[in-house]
Amino acid sequence: MAKEIERKFLVDISKWEKRGTAFNVIQGYLLVHPKRVVRVRIIDQKAYLTIKGNLDGIVRDEFEYEIPEADARELLKMCEDFLVEKTRYILYYFGKKWEIDCFHGENEGLVVAEVELNAPDEEIELPAWVTSEVSEETKYYNFYLSRHPYSQWQ
């Protein structure tokens, strides 16, 4: 069984410059349930179907499968609510892979950094451009942003 252990942080864009490898991402949710989500995602020209569930703090089950891009485009049409669009930057800091998501469309203005860990209690060095941790704040999860876009927050 695949496990994802991930921490999320808000990014101070005055301290972070867009660098690293960049990818265009569009994703939608076929199912959003309190215990699981099913996502379809296109990253540049590669597409994936992902099932996530059994969230326990910052740990959850994750199963991801590459699918044909044409299938993903059709599945995106079946998604409810808003599609999540973003540019993802990949960079490494103190040996850890960081993914910085700059959201577009209905979520324009939101920038979130994620780092995957090997264990929930793993110590990491935080870059100067991260601000508050939002790992367990549901409103920063992409599935939530697909239903309650950042542009509509008070």
Tell me how many degrees the CA angle 40-3-113 measures, rounded to the nearest 5: 65
| CA gap 29, 34 in Å, rounded | 13
Note whether 153 and 40 are within 8 A (CB).
no
**Rounded distance between C-alpha atoms, residue 2 and residue 145, angstroms:** 24
Structure tokens at 13: 């864009």
DSSP 65-84: EEE-HHHHHHHHHH--SPPE
Instruction: Decide: helix, strand or coil at residue 26.
Output: strand
Which ranges constitute the DSSP H helices of the chain?
A: 69-78, 142-147
Give the active site residues: 29
